[in-house]
Amino acid sequence: MTAAHFTPVAARSTPRWLLLGSLALNLFFIGIAIAMVVRHPAPPRNWERDIFVRTERLAEGLPKADRDILLRQMQANRPAIEKTQREYRAAQESIRDNLRKEPFDITAMRSAMNDTRVARQAFDVAVQNAFASAAEQMSQNGRTALADWRHNRPAGRQTDDK
């Protein structure tokens, strides 16, 4: 008799299980690679800087009557909102200009940043006033949809905070 006859059965089948396990793992990784190549890429997120475009997107998920109220309020406040939006963007551009200047002036940069904060706050106040006035006139369902709205998602009850 040879030594092979005395080797336990479990010891002889171990290489077979290792081979099968390795094959399964390789097939798993190949499947993942194929899925990554075949799947469609997610559509790019389009962030529109214009508050009126963003408001229209938000309003799409509201009940019709509430959508009309919101859009009407935004139109009524349009001159003030556009003015503060322009001032805010100009202040942002001032920061960019200061970053490009040579020699760099930290005092001018801090001043531009402060101006941007003030302009942003004025812009926020103008937009929030329009939204508050609209919310006052909306139905409970409209206010709930407005509260639950998330960027790039339809309005309605959302359970996650992402």
How is the chain split into domains, by residue range?
A: 10-38, 51-148
The domain at 51-148 falls in which architecture?
Up-down Bundle (1.20)
pLDDT of residue 159: 45
pLDDT in the model for residue 83? 96
Rounded mean pLDDT for each run of 10 residues along the chain, 162 residues in total: 56 74 88 80 69 90 93 96 96 96 95 97 96 95 88 47 42
| pLDDT number for residue 129 | 96
Q: How many angstroms separate the CA atoms of 151 and 93, rounded?
A: 25
| pTM confidence score | 0.63
| Neighbouring residues of 74: CB distance < 8 A, sequence distance ≥ 6 | 51, 52, 55, 81, 130, 134
- Token pair 């396990």 is found at 21
Closest CA to 157 of 35, 52, 61: 61
pLDDT, position 38: 78
What pLDDT was estimated at residue 140?
A: 94
Show the beta-strand stretches assigned E in the chain. Answer: none
112 in Cβ contact with 95 (< 8 Å):
yes
